[in-house]
Amino acid sequence: MSGQLVREGYSGTGPGAITPDGCAVELYTRLAVGDEPDVIEAAVPAGASILELGCGAGRVTHPLVERGFAVTAVDESPQMLEKVRGARTVCAPIESLDLGDETFDVVMLASFLVHSGDHRVRDGLLRTCRRYVRDAGVVLLQREGADYHTALPRERVHPAGCTTRIVSSEPVGDGVRSVRAEYEFADARWTQTFLSRLLSKEEFEGYLDAAGLRVDRYLTDDGVWVRAVPK
């Protein structure tokens, strides 16, 4: 799958397999998880069934499984999914995911995927969220913070020995920016270039609305994590 699917404007460099959206598989096995599992756990019922869209190498999946959630982890990269443990895995583009009439207590679309540069892809991602969430269920999304594209370059040094850098964000037209990120370890270096559509709160909520979802509440003060529900 990852050899054939091309996502224009998305690329990556560095050792090992690179996904169609430019993520390095080995990098995502090395990156430590942050407070994501805490935010998620506080927003959903204990033991919920979770459909995690764009799970990568299981960085967030694994702590969720450890906390007793039943996770179905979806990614279009088979190499990413090979790293996932303790969850059911499904290899597919999120936009065309077909799980029949199965539904979940929680559907998660994290990692800023909602900022896709392509309107059709974003609409497809949100349609998938609505299709697979129970009527009484919850959709959790992760948006870019207000300062994501400003104050550049910015750098963060992680305790596990990784330096992450957002190097640049250049407009490429139609409200879309091309973002370049770098990840440096003592023994390896990766880059990712990806497209990001700027989304005001109003635009974000409008796209959710078009997909049959509405914001229930913003979970974090920075407005990054969002709890949405079916309309």
Ligand X SMILES: C[S@@+](CC[C@H](N)C(=O)[O-])C[C@H]1O[C@@H](n2cnc3c(N)ncnc32)[C@H](O)[C@@H]1O
Q: Which of 12, 18, 19, 139 is in the footprint of ligand X by CB under 6 A? A: 19
Q: Is 162 in the site for ligand X (CB under 6 A)?
A: no
Q: Is 59 in the site for ligand X (CB under 6 A)?
A: yes
Point out which span in 15-23, 149-157, 159-167, 176-184 binds ligand X (CB under 6 A).
Answer: 15-23
Residue in 4, 135, 128 with CA at minimum distance from that of residue 74: 128
- The dihedral over CA atoms of 224, 5, 188, 28, expressed in degrees to the nearest 10, equals 40
- Closest contact distance (angstroms) between CB of 187 and ligand X is 20
Q: Is 65 in the site for ligand X (CB under 6 A)?
A: no
Q: Is 23 in the site for ligand X (CB under 6 A)?
A: yes
Q: Is 117 in the site for ligand X (CB under 6 A)?
A: no
Point out which span in 19-27, 133-141, 182-190, 222-230 binds ligand X (CB under 6 A).
Answer: 19-27
CB-count burial class (<10 Å; 0-12, 13-18, 19+) for 164: middle
- Closest contact distance (angstroms) between CB of 136 and ligand X is 25
Q: Is 144 in the site for ligand X (CB under 6 A)?
A: no
Cα distances (angstroms) measured from residue 125 to each of 24, 120, 131, 132, 160: 21, 9, 10, 11, 32
Give Dmax over CA atoms of the chain in angstroms: 49
Q: Which of 94, 114, 181, 226 is in the footprint of ligand X by CB under 6 A? A: 94
3-state DSSP helix/strand/coil % of the chain, to nearest 5: 25, 35, 40
- Closest contact distance (angstroms) between CB of 227 and ligand X is 17
H or E stretch at 66: helix 61-66
Query: Which residues of this protein are in contact with ligand X, per CB under 6 A?
Result: 19, 21, 23, 28, 54-56, 59-60, 75-77, 80, 93-95, 110-111, 113
